[in-house]
Amino acid sequence: MQRRFTCCPSTLAASKHTDMKTQEILDQFRLDPFNTKAQTTLVRAQGGVLMARQKECAGASIHPKNETGAPDTGRAAWAKNKAQYKEDLQREDGTEACLRDPSSFFCDPDLTRNDWVPLVVALDTGVVGEHTDGYGNPVKHIFMGCRQPGYRGGIFDSKRLFGRRAASWAYDQIERQFAFMLPDAVMHGIRIPSRSRRVDSNNIAMRALQKAFALPHGGVGEKADFYWQLAWSVYLSSNLEYEHKLNNTFGVGATKYLQNRFVTRLVEHIKELKEDVVEKQPRQYLDKYRAFQELMYTAYNGENVTTQFSGSGMKYVMGQLSDDQIPLREDSTWRGVNHTLLRIVDGYGKSICPFVNERNAAKLWEDRWNTLRKDSNTITGPTASDYVGLAVTDFDILRDNWQSLVEFFSGCGFPEPKPFGFAFNKENESSIAVLADTAWSNFLNPSALLSQESEETIKNTTILLG
C-alpha cells in the first residue's frame, strides 16, 4: 500500500528558503534586506545583515584549537600576535619588529572561526532622494559593507568566498549600492554568535564604526573624537572644494556654451533638418546636412568656450592608528606605498611611516601623501587600497541623508562632524570648501594641533575642530 505524506505550509516555506541558492539570497537581500531570511553553506541573511563564517572569509588567523585544546578566539589570536611582536623587539639582528597578523587587532575578543561575521549591513532608515547604482537600479537602502571577500596581498586581506560567477556577480550588485565601504578587517572582526536567533543591524553597524574610528585609539572618547573630526574635515572640505571648482569652471563654461549664438542656431537647424529627413529625398537636404556639420563644429568651438574639467573629490573618511594600540609596521614597500592609506601616530600626534627596512620609504611615503592632496585621482578607488575608516561611494547619497546619518553617528557614540565648527549644510559649504588646505595639513600633522601635556588639550582641540 502506497503512503502519501503532506507538509504544512510553514514546512514548505522553510524548505523553499533552504533550497535558495547563494546568488538568489544576495539578489533578494539587495532588494529587501529586512525581509530576507535565508541561509546557504556560504552566506546567511537575517535582520538586514548579510553574513558569512569567519573561517570562510576572514584574513585574521583564528585556528580551531589552541595548545590547551580549547577553541581559539580573537583575544587569543591578538595575544599571540603581540607576544610574537615582543619577541621580535628583542632580536639583535637589526630587523625591526612587525605584526604578523594585524587583522587580529580588530577581532572581537570572543570571536571564533565558527561564528558569523557581517559582509553587508543595512541601516533601518530609507534613502532620501532619487539615487541609482551603475546599472540604473534605484538605491533604497543605506548599505555599509566590505569589498567582496577574496583580496590577497594587502595589509588587511581576506579569503575568497564566492567560487561561482553568479554569486560573485550578485555580490557586486550589492556593492554598487553601498553608501559606505569599510575595511575587511573591521567587518570580519565583528562576532555574530553561530546560534544567534536575533540580529540587530544597527548594533552591528555601530560596532563596525567604532572599530574603524574608536578602537585604534583605545575606545570611544576624546581621542577618538579628535581623529573622527579630523577625518571628516578632510573629506567634507575636499569634496566641497571640488564642487565649487566644478561650478566655477565647468558650470560657468557650460552655461555660456549653451547660450552662445552658434548653439542657438544649431538647435533651430536640427529641427529643420529633422523635418527634411522625414519629408524629402536625401539629395534635397544633402547640402543642408553639410551646413549642419559645419555649424556643429563651429558651435562646439565657438567663442573658445571649454567644457573640459579634470579632478575628483576625496573618496575616503580616513582614520588614523595610534601606535600604542596597534604598532603596525611593514617590512617592505612593495605592497604598500602606492595602495595604502594608513596614517599611524604616536601619543603626541606625530606621524610614523609604517614601512621599515627600506632606505627611502619615509620620503616615498610623505611624497605620496603630498601628491594625494594635489591630485586625488591617484587614489584608484575604494576597493584598491588598505585603509582604516570609511570609503564613501556616493557623495550625493551622503549629502541627501546627512541628518539621519548624524543621528546614526550620535547613536554610535560619535559627535556630529563639524569641520572647524561649521555644520555641513548649504549655508556653510563655501566656508568649509576654502579650508581644504588647512584640513589636509592638520590631518597629515596632528601634532601641530596637540600639545604634549594632557587629554585636556585633545578635548579643547576637538571642540575647536567640531
d(CA 349, CA 322): 8
Asked if residue 118 has pLDDT above 90, the reply is yes
Task: Please name which of 32, 51, 209, 199 lies closest in space to residue 126, comparing C-alpha atoms.
Answer: 32
Amino acid 53: pLDDT:
95
pLDDT-based confidence at 458, cuts 50/70/90? Answer: low
Find the mean pLDDT for residues 55-79.
82
Amino acid 65: pLDDT:
67
Alpha helices in 140-221 (DSSP H): 165-175, 184-187, 201-213
Whole-angstrom CA distances from 101 to 60, 61, 107, 111, 353 are 6, 7, 11, 15, 18
**Structural domain boundaries of the chain?**
27-213, 261-304
Q: Phi-psi category of 385—alpha, beta or left, where left has phi over 0 and alpha has psi -120 to 50? A: beta
pLDDT digits (tens, 9 = 90+) for 30-61: 999 999 999 999 999 999 999 999 999 998 88
- Count Cα neighbours of 41 within 13 Å in the Cβ-side half-sphere: 3
Helix (H) or strand (E) holding 178: strand 178-181
Task: Check if the beta carbon of residue 432 is closer than 8 Å to that of residue 448.
Answer: no
| Set of cell numbers at residue 352 | 610614523
Asked if residue 85 has pLDDT above 80, the reply is yes
Mean pLDDT (the chain) is 84
Amino acid 13: pLDDT:
40
pLDDT digits (tens, 9 = 90+) for 125-158: 889 888 988 788 899 999 999 999 987 767 788 8
pLDDT digits (tens, 9 = 90+) for 375-433: 765 565 544 568 899 999 889 999 999 999 999 999 999 999 999 999 999 999 999 99
Task: Check if the beta carbon of residue 250 is closer than 8 Å to that of residue 240.
Answer: no
Q: Determine the residue type at 163.
A: G
Q: Which of 17-21, 30-34, 91-95, 274-278 is most confident?
A: 30-34
Asked if residue 204 has pLDDT above 80, the reply is yes
| Set of cell numbers at residue 2 | 502506497
Amino acid 293: pLDDT:
85
d(CA 103, CA 123): 25
**Number of other residues whose CB lies within 10 A of the CB of residue 179:** 22
Higher pLDDT, 153 or 3: 153
Task: Check if the beta carbon of residue 359 is closer than 8 Å to that of residue 282.
Answer: no
pTM, entire model: 0.84
Task: Please name which of 55, 60, 65, 59 lies closest in space to residue 81, comparing C-alpha atoms.
Answer: 60
pLDDT-based confidence at 10, cuts 50/70/90? Answer: very low
Asked if residue 68 has pLDDT above 70, the reply is no
Neighbour-count burial of 287, counting CB atoms closer than 10 A to its CB (0-12 exposed, 13-18 middle, 19+ buried): exposed
With a CB cutoff of 8 Å and minimum separation 6, the contacts of 17 are 37, 38, 39
pLDDT-based confidence at 29, cuts 50/70/90? Answer: very high
Asked if residue 280 has pLDDT above 50, the reply is yes
Find the mean pLDDT for residues 448-465.
66
